Amino acid sequence: MIRIGNVLVSPGEGGVYGERMLEGYRVWDPYRSKFAAYYLLGGELELTPGMRVLYLGAANGTTVSHVADYVETIYAVEFAPRPMQDLLEVARRRKKIVPIMADANQPYGYAPFMEAVDLVYQDVAQPNQVEIAEKNLVFLKPGGYLVLMLKTRSVDVRRDPADVVAEAREGLSQHLDVVDLRWLEPYHHDHAAIVCTRRG
């Protein structure tokens, strides 16, 4: 990952969402992007130029645009029409992004477009986030990574976030090896990044 001093940046054409530029690089803001927060808090998963990524919950394409700056191809799945409009515009200017309008809960909706990927990144506000991740493992190469940005409040607002994370971790360990777990404080409250690898 490219850093200038303490600032995380990505190489690419700027002006996607009014992000600041620094020495010709796009500043990747940890307050706007959970993935950036993960890196600034010491996350070690490197994005490399050969990587193929499945990004679930692409939203407006803000984080997607930064990830696309680093990798070879990114399949960006988003379900809601309003953010999809923005995502299409981002994808029009970034040839690495394949924008897919589909429900991450129903992988058969986008399976005919998918190749095997090195990284599945998931950031969806759904109660069954672990289940969704498991359904999408079919696209993940053995040895590949899953990054689950667990939104504990979407799982259950009433429960203690620490419990929710512990349960998610247990669920994921059935099929995956959890290699890293990181709370995203102070950038994002009640969110945890869980990084796993697929056995293989």
Contacts with another protein by CB under 8 A lie at 73, 81, 84-85, 88, 91-92, 95-101, 107-108, 111-117, 135, 138-139, 157-158
**Whose Cβ is closer to another protein: residue 31's or residue 108's?**
108
Query: Residue 24 Cβ, how far from another protein at the closest point, in Å?
Result: 25
Q: How far is the CB of 22 from another protein (least distance, A)?
A: 29
Triad 112, 117, 122: Cα angle to 5°: 90
Which residues are CB-contacts of 99 (< 8 A; sequence separation ≥ 6)?
58, 61, 76, 78, 84, 87, 88, 90, 91
Cβ nearer to another protein, comparing 36 with 54: 54
152 class by beta-carbon count within 10 Å (0-12 exposed, 13-18 middle, 19+ buried): buried
Residue 85 vs 128, nearer CB to another protein? 85
CB of 50 to another protein, least distance (A): 11
